[in-house]
Amino acid sequence: MCLFAAAIPTFLCMLLLNLPLYAFQSKAQRSKTMRVQIPLGINQSSWRKRIPRDNPLSVEKVALGRALYFDKRLSIDGTVSCATCHDPALAFTDAKVVAVGGHDRRGTRNAPTVLNSVFSQTFFWDGRARSLEDQVKHPLLSSFEMGMTNETNLIARLASVPEYQRQFKRVFKSEGLTMDTIAKAIAAYERTLLSGNSPFDRFITGQKTAMSDAQKRGWELFKGKARCIECHKYSPQSPFFTDFEFHNTGVGISDAGLDELLRSFAAAAKDKSGTALAHSADFSKLGRFAVSLRQADIATFKTPTLRDLELTSPYMHDGSLRTLIDVVQFYNRGGNPNRYLDKRMQPLQLSDVEVNDLVQFLRALTSDDVLRQSQTTTPQTRAAVPF
């Protein structure tokens, strides 16, 4: 299109190529419109549609968000950044059963990857945050994550760093340094963290030798006998192996003690919102129910993506399964029984060979790029930084 553009003003040509990103940006931001490498398997225009109008990407904003993402000064004792629990060396997870935050405080849930989170409609295992901007504020203030006691302290901490003062001014102009602009910058960075370009993506786009025979058999099982695809949905438009819905698979729950737990939740919810209780040690296992208060949501959790699983052990919202064989065996026996178990959870009668084929298929979902990044990145440490 731009080959014969010599006569057309350059800006028009750029406009045609960049319309969705371009339309809502100020002149200053336009000059540095962000170009993000979209990996094989992910649709460029679906990605663009996920960038909100009130937080367009720019090179400078993403750089600021990245700096904040890796900065331990955002935590109460200077030991923890976003990257501690969502570490690029581990496909943006932390290899822990449940996350451990500032002052070594143990949380209640396993840290999910932030790769492709730009495509999620709701955030957290129980979906209690509705945008990436909204999500960011939770860990900053959560007592067992970054533990900042309140927004004012956090903003004062960052305002004491001259470089941040300059960068916030440059990127956000008169909006300056606020909780909202911190969230916007980090969310902008997260929207550039994508995972595609796996053997599966090459296979499905026509390279028939990209997966082994066992992996091909595993893919057939995934869509057929093992019925994984009923919840871990795949389509070329939404290639994330999730329906973005909530299901009870029985992880971390049983009928024993459930009525009592529901009674104590009802009592606690008189003083605190369910959302505030959702991520607490006592009620974490109630999952989406704490947020929606719908009986059908008891012990349901968001279907996670299945990309890069090889790098993100242990699995499930409570980190209770250590290997992919454990996971497939869990499904093979029909999940864990409880009276709210999703009807799709049924014993599968997979043979040992079939279990192995399915595991091999899951391995085909590891991105070459994410794998390379994990191998070339130094893992995060907990050494405290001064502030």
Which residues form the interface with ligand HEC (CB under 6 A)?
A: 80, 82, 84-86, 99-101, 107, 109, 111-112, 114, 117, 120, 123-125, 135-136, 139-140, 145-146, 186, 226-228, 230-232, 247, 249, 251, 279, 301, 303-304, 306, 309, 312, 315-317, 327-328, 331, 342, 344-345, 358
Q: Rounded to a whole number, what is the distance in angstroms from the first to the last CA of the chain?
A: 51
Cβ atoms of 93 and 86 within 8 Å: the answer is yes
Give the C-alpha separation, 97 to 105, whole Å.
Answer: 13
Could you tell me the smallest distance in angstroms from the CB atom of residue 82 to ligand HEC? 3
Please state the separation of Cα 270 from the chain's center in Å.
Answer: 31
Could you tell me the smallest distance in angstroms from the CB atom of residue 19 to ligand HEC? 27
Could you tell me the smallest distance in angstroms from the CB atom of residue 304 to ligand HEC? 4
| Rg of the Cα atoms in the chain | 22
Closer CB to ligand HEC, 21 or 328, in the complex: 328
Closer CB to ligand HEC, 57 or 186, in the complex: 186
Closer CB to ligand HEC, 171 or 358, in the complex: 358
Closer CB to ligand HEC, 202 or 279, in the complex: 279
274: three-class secondary structure by DSSP: helix
C-alpha pair distances (Å), 199 with each of 78, 206, 224: 39, 11, 20
Closer CB to ligand HEC, 50 or 227, in the complex: 227
Give the C-alpha separation, 112 to 316, whole Å.
Answer: 9
Give the C-alpha separation, 33 to 22, whole Å.
Answer: 7
Closer CB to ligand HEC, 30 or 231, in the complex: 231
Could you tell me the smallest distance in angstroms from the CB atom of residue 376 to ligand HEC? 22
Closer CB to ligand HEC, 30 or 321, in the complex: 321
Own/partner long-range contacts of 346-351 (Cβ < 8 Å, ≥24 apart): 346/227, 348/225, 348/226, 348/227, 350/221, 350/225, 350/226
Own/partner long-range contacts of 374-377 (Cβ < 8 Å, ≥24 apart): 374/88, 374/89, 374/90, 374/91, 374/311, 377/87, 377/88, 377/89
